[in-house]
Structures are given as C-alpha cells and as structure tokens.
Amino acid sequence: MVNNLFISAEIGINHNGDLNIVKSLIDAAVLAGCDAVKFQKRTIDKVYTAEFLDSPRQSPWGTTQRDQKEALEFNKEEYNEIDAYCRTKNIEWFASAWDVDAQKFLRVYNLKYNKVASPVLTNIPLLETVAEEKRYTFIATGMSTWEEIDQAVEIFRKHDCPFELLHCVSIYPMEPKDANLLLIPELRKRYNCPVGYSSHEIGNIATLGAVALGSCSVERHITLDRTMYGSDQASSVEPVELIEFVRDIRLMESALGSGKRELSDKEMVVRKKMRG
C-alpha cells in the first residue's frame, strides 16, 4: 500500500535555541519516516507587548520573558543552516508564523507548506498574508468556535489557496478522553475539505483513532527528552517513541483497506476450506 497520510514532526521550540538539537531531531524524524519537520517563527516585539517581555521569568537564558523568547528564536543565518540540513536529509520543513513579518521572513525559503497555528486562527491580517501565497496550508482549529473557523476558511477560499483543517485540542499534554475525535468527520462534512489531526496527547491511541476516522495528516511534537526545559516537552514523543508512532500510523493506515466488499486470495483459501 502507498502511504498517503502526511506525517509532520513538530520541532517547534523544543530545540531550546540549539542547532545541534535541531539536527538531532531532524535526524530522528528522517529515521522514523516522517514526511516533514516543522518549526515556529515569531517576531518577538510584534507578538508580545513590552510589558509582557519585561515581566519576570526564570529560564536557562535569563530572568525575563524577553530573555526566554529571544533565546528560542532563530535568525536568518540559523534558518539557512536548517534549510540546508533538511535538503541534505531529503526532508521537507515548514513553520507556523505567529505574525505577518514572520510569515514574510519565511517566504525566502520557498517552502512547500504553510501552517496556521491555533492561537493565531483569528489573526486576520496574518491569515490574509498566508493565503495570498497559495501554498498548501495546514490550519489548526484548537480553541476555536465554528464562527472563527468559518471566517478562516472563507479567507483561504477567497484567495483560492489550498488548505487542510487540523482537528486539534489545545491541552498540553492531552488525555485521550479529551480528544473529541468525532469532530474530524464533522469538520470534513461542514467544510468539504481535507482534515488532519494535530496531536498533543499522552500515548498514541487518539492518533490511531484519528487515522481510522480518515485523517489526511498527523502532526506530533517531538523532543530528545521530555524532561528538558520547555512548555511543549511533556506533550512530545522521544526518538524511539517516534519510530513506534510512525510505524503504528502506517499499520493503521494499511488496516483501513479499500472499504470494498472484495474477497482476497488469502480469504478465498479459507473459504474453500470452510465452505467446501
């Protein structure tokens, strides 16, 4: 069976500002068989207020929110290195921009995909900027009302930009009981578009359920070690788990079959024995 489901490994900010960690995570994604790795890009002074950035936060990089936020952002030179490394490893990369300037920053790389993260689904200027590029865009729907999703879909259709909605529950980490997976067919029915799944769950049961319900893609945060510093580490999978995660997705994908009432050669052998 040909693998059709798109698997992206969300590195996000789990690199802790270290390119060596980035490369190790890219290696892990390649080894596991992921289709792409994903990052997050912010223009710190556009996304956060000066008051917030000056507020206290103890981190490995200093004592303010600014210290922490700036340490997690890569510059042009560093993204050039990420881009080159992904090319050598033959894996796609893309990023979710959190502001218009960040989206424009990413344009120089001519990426195949865009991503709208759940927190910025209502940022209309950003959505317009992304949609006008007409690149295939993953749109996460965590924390969003139907009306907010309606508005986002309208913008992408106005620009004739191909998109895929991602069912997402913004809890980090998420218990499987909170997954509400039946929203996947509901999203597909309401918007008549591809629907994927962005996972922050404990384990992989919900992801496999999403695949069984026809999810077109799966996104999952990855880390070298869940005990590392960072808000997303606890809801991420480590390299060995990522291999198992991708393997189980592919097995579930193959288990779906064609949906047609057909008797395989293997079943015909049993039929002949049991029915004569």
How many structural domains does the chain have? 1
Rg (C-alpha) for the chain, rounded Å, is 20
Domain assignment present for residue 40? The answer is: yes
Domain assignment present for residue 190? The answer is: yes
pLDDT of 3 reads 53
Domain assignment present for residue 88? The answer is: yes
pLDDT reading at 135 higher than 60:
yes
Could you read off the pLDDT of 178-218 as tens digits, one per residue?
999 999 999 999 999 999 999 999 899 999 999 999 999 99
pLDDT band with cut points at 50, 70 and 90 for residue 37:
very high
* Exposure letters 126-163 (e unless 16+ CB within 10 A, then b): bbebbbebebbbbbbbbebeeeebeebbebbeebebeb
pLDDT band with cut points at 50, 70 and 90 for residue 4:
confident
pLDDT reading at 2 higher than 80:
no
Range(s) of the domain holding residue 20: 7-256
The CATH number of whichever domain residue 88 belongs to comes to 3.20.20.70
